[in-house]
């Protein structure tokens, strides 16, 4: 169960009671879970987005979630696994032709994938700074496809998603406009310059 930090704090240390309370609050989930049996103790984890320091080395590459895991607002797991496998295969072919499977020979793959990671994290930061921004921009025809591609993890070149600049400008407008209707929804603990994991807790 994924939730905002403020909601999770209600659990204190009784994770099982908290989990049961919230899973039972949704009839469909309660029905699905009614015959389930717990086989492990409940535990909590926070800030579980991660990125490996190196995606390549001498004779090896990391693809998909073995290289990084981005915040679960994304529906990116399969998309990133397939794209990174394709990019890795392309670079491995080049490296084999050059008879160079060293880290340096495989590094272009890492650089390409990390460009995508930086784009996704920027989108995450903007989203958590002002969550209603998603609804604002998904409804705009000129930006809808770009937002969907971001959610799918299908962007590896920031120049393909000018919606990020538009989102930044929108957040700045909210920040600087007294009485703006969305101002109460700004997360004061975040700024768009921070490079921190998204504020999630998981049970």
Other Cβ atoms closer than 10 A to 103? 16
Q: What is the pLDDT of residue 70?
A: 76
For the chain, give the percent of residues with pLDDT over 90. Answer: 55
Beta bridge partners of 200: 4
Q: What is the mean pLDDT of residues 42-59?
A: 86
Same domain, 16 and 81: no
Q: What is the mean pLDDT of residues 26-40?
A: 91
pLDDT digit string, tens, across residues 98-150: 999 999 999 999 999 999 988 988 998 898 899 888 889 999 999 999 999 99
Q: What is the mean pLDDT of residues 179-184?
A: 92
pLDDT at 84 over 60: yes
Torsion of CA 173, 114, 149, 88, to 10 degrees: 170
Q: Match 């994991």 to its residue by tokens.
A: 197
CA distances from 73 to 1, 3, 34, 45, 76 (A): 13, 11, 27, 16, 9
**Is 106 in contact with 61 (CB distance < 8 Å)?**
yes
Same domain, 13 and 91: no
Other Cβ atoms closer than 10 A to 8? 20
CATH number for the domain spanning 102: value is 3.50.50.60
Q: Which domain holds residue 136?
A: 50-202
The angle, 0 to 180 degrees and rounded to 10, between the axes of the packed helices 77-97 and 103-129 is 160
For the chain, give the mean pLDDT.
Answer: 87
pLDDT at 198 over 60: no
**Is 18 in contact with 43 (CB distance < 8 Å)?**
no
State the pLDDT confidence band at 73, using cuts at 50, 70 and 90: low
pLDDT digit string, tens, across residues 57-69: 999 999 998 998 8
Same domain, 25 and 122: no
Q: Which residue has the higher pLDDT, 189 or 11?
A: 11
Same domain, 178 and 116: yes
Q: Which residue has the higher pLDDT, 48 or 117?
A: 117
Q: Which residue has the higher pLDDT, 129 or 49?
A: 129
Same domain, 58 and 154: yes
Same domain, 119 and 94: yes
**Is 83 in contact with 154 (CB distance < 8 Å)?**
yes
**Is 172 in contact with 192 (CB distance < 8 Å)?**
no
Same domain, 122 and 30: no
pLDDT at 202 over 70: no
> What is the C-alpha end-to-end distance of the chain, expressed in Å?
5
How many angstroms separate the CA atoms of 156 and 160, rounded?
8
Same domain, 104 and 172: yes
Beta bridge partners of 2: 202
Total domain count for the chain?
2
**Is 138 in contact with 177 (CB distance < 8 Å)?**
no
The angle, 0 to 180 degrees and rounded to 10, between the axes of the packed helices 163-176 and 141-151 is 100
Same domain, 9 and 55: no
């Amino acid at each position: 169960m994924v939730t905002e930090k403020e909601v999770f704090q209600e659990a204190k240390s009784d994770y099982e009671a908290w989990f049961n309370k919230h899973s039972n609050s949704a009839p469909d989930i309660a029905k699905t879970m009614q015959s389930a049996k717990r086989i492990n103790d409940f535990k909590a984890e926070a800030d579980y987005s991660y990125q490996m320091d190196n995606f390549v080395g001498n004779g090896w590459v990391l693809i998909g979630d073995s290289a990084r895991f981005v915040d679960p607002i994304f529906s990116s797991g399969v998309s990133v696994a397939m794209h990174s496998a394709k990019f890795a295969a392309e670079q491995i072919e080049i490296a084999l032709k050059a008879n160079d499977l060293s880290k340096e020979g495989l590094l272009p793959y890492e650089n390409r994938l990390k460009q995508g990671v930086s784009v996704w994290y920027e989108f995450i930061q903007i989203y958590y700074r002002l969550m209603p921004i998603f609804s604002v921009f998904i409804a705009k025809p000129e930006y809808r496809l770009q937002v969907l591609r971001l959610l799918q993890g299908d962007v590896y070149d920031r120049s393909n998603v000018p919606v990020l600049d538009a989102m930044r400008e929108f957040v700045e407008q909210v920040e600087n406009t007294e009485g703006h209707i969305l101002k109460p929804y700004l997360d004061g603990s975040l700024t768009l310059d921070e490079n921190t994991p998204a504020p999630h807790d998981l049970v």
